[in-house]
Amino acid sequence: MGFFGNIARALGFETEEEQTKTKKIKKSEPKATFNLKKDKIERPDKIDGIRVIYVEKMEDVKKALSIFGNDEPVLVNVEYAQDKSRALGFLEGAIQMSKGSMAVIEENRLIILLPEGVEIE
């Protein structure tokens, strides 16, 4: 860095060495703000604005379908359901009757119910 480097810095100029040190690497922000695998202890009510229902009994399935009936997407976690196959069958039947769709996020665990006209990327 020498004499001329000190003069350049005093005048407000950066040397090539300093420019490479101060370059910032732009990181892309994650699309989801919640990590389900990392944050297993907490049970959030919403993830990125989408209601989350944790199914343990059939009343919870009905609650998810009532939210879905109001044209809102719903994330349903059936991991702790007493009867997973019955809960999944009930959800599939209700989706088939409506004009919505259902996407499996994690097999036999997470399902998202999407009303008509709503898609996921």
pLDDT tens column, 28-49 = 555 655 565 554 557 778 888 8
Residue 24 lies in a domain: no
Residue 14 lies in a domain: no
Q: What is the tally of structural domains in the chain? A: 1
Please give the mean pLDDT across all residues of the chain. 78
- Side-chain-side CA neighbours of residue 54 (13 Å): 10
Given a cut of 80, is residue 14 above it in pLDDT?
no
Residue 12 lies in a domain: no
Q: CATH code at 101?
A: 3.30.110.150
Q: So what's the pLDDT on residue 76? A: 93
* pLDDT-derived band at 61, boundaries 50, 70, 90: very high
Residue 6 lies in a domain: no
In 64-86, which positions are buried (b, 16+ CB within 10 angstroms) versus exposed (e)?
Answer: bbebbeeeebbbbbbeebeeeee
The secondary element (H helix, E strand) that includes residue 77 is strand 74-77
Residue 55 lies in a domain: yes
Residue 93 lies in a domain: yes
> Which position has the higher pLDDT, 8 or 49?
49
Given a cut of 90, is residue 52 above it in pLDDT?
yes
Q: So what's the pLDDT on residue 33? A: 58
**The pTM is what?**
0.62
**Residue range of the domain that includes 55:** 46-114
* Amino acid (1-letter code) at residue 2: G
Residue 65 lies in a domain: yes
Residue 79 lies in a domain: yes
Average pLDDT for residues 54-66, to the nearest whole number?
92
Reported as a single tens digit per residue, the pLDDT across 76-105 is: 999 889 889 899 889 988 888 888 888 888
